[in-house]
A = this chain, B = another copy of it.
């Protein structure tokens, strides 16, 4: 293997994933390992370094360890162009540090960029994980080469990212915008974001589970399937089991999903009105049940075709799954 290689890495709360790619986006190696964040950043950084090292050895990359930050092209092996890192934030993108004790316990002010530059002697770039995943879908996924790509992740929370002409659209001071916290219905529940009735509070996985738990407590007889799926314990209800029960005809679960789908659709309408992108790529656990949300969304879009041809916006499931962030992090080094 005699070519330029980029490495992408996705550091999440539980797992670190790593991939080596050609600059054309062909994956050549994939690795993953538990991050075990609570064992401390030093442990975590060494684990990350050993994953990088194993890829470097496998690919006979020979510019490893020069410590100069300069790419040395080798005659026999691959040439490592650089390492892109996507990580769950908050991050300090300017200083290249991770500062996320919330989902990476004990990881405060961790200089991931300096660490990797020192260790491997190649350029290293750090990005928010949502932006990295969106870039991945732009590079090799559902939004390939799309001029205006909005990525929406609906899982425990709701995250958004916007890729314009292949570049991440950042906010003020480099901050990553938080489209999941736009207000959709001010009579909705209070959110930790400070607002009431934000998108996340109304149609994220946590919102679906919370509403289902409340309704089941009030009317357990309407949710027999849902309760059965959760061993009769309403406190165990997850968004996934609500979707499953809705598929099996549970009327309460269907009601919860329909309501979440209404709010989900309003958020998508707002993205269409604010940005009018070419493509909206959907990812995250809740979107694995996108088929249950689709009819409501399609109705909402038809309702909103007066100002803009809203049906021109393609709404697609993400295609890279858990690897979107790894692809996008690698693309950071291709698209400099």
Contacts and interface: CB of A to CB of B under 8 A. Distances in A.
Interface string A248-276: 00000000000000100010011101111
Of A269, A273, A306, A309, the most chain B CB neighbours within 10 A belong to: A273
A187 B186 CA distance: 10
Nearest to A186: B185
A193 interface: yes
A173 B273 contact: no
Given A269-B195, A270-B270, A171 B277 contact: yes
Contacts of A181: 273, 304, 307
B309 A278 contact: no
A29 interface: no
Contacts of A270: 182-183, 270, 274
A298 interface: no
A305 interface: yes
Interface residues of A, number: 44
B309 A175 contact: yes
B193 A306 contact: yes
B192 A306 contact: yes
B171 A148 contact: yes
Specify the main secondary structure of chain A where it touches its partner: loop
Contact of A183 (B180, B184, B312): B184
A182 B274 contact: yes
Given A186-B266, A194-B303, A148 B172 contact: yes
Nearest to A301: B194
Given A148-B172, A169-B164, A274 B194 contact: no
B312 A173 contact: yes
A172 B274 contact: no
A179 B308 CA distance: 11
19 contacts: A164-B169, A169-B275, A172-B278, A172-B309, A173-B309, A177-B273, A178-B273, A178-B276, A178-B307, A179-B274, A181-B273, A183-B270, A186-B262, A186-B266, A192-B306, A193-B306, A193-B307, A194-B305, A270-B270
Nearest 9 Cβ contacts at the A-B interface: A171-B276, A182-B270, A178-B307, A177-B276, A182-B273, A194-B306, A194-B303, A179-B274, A194-B304
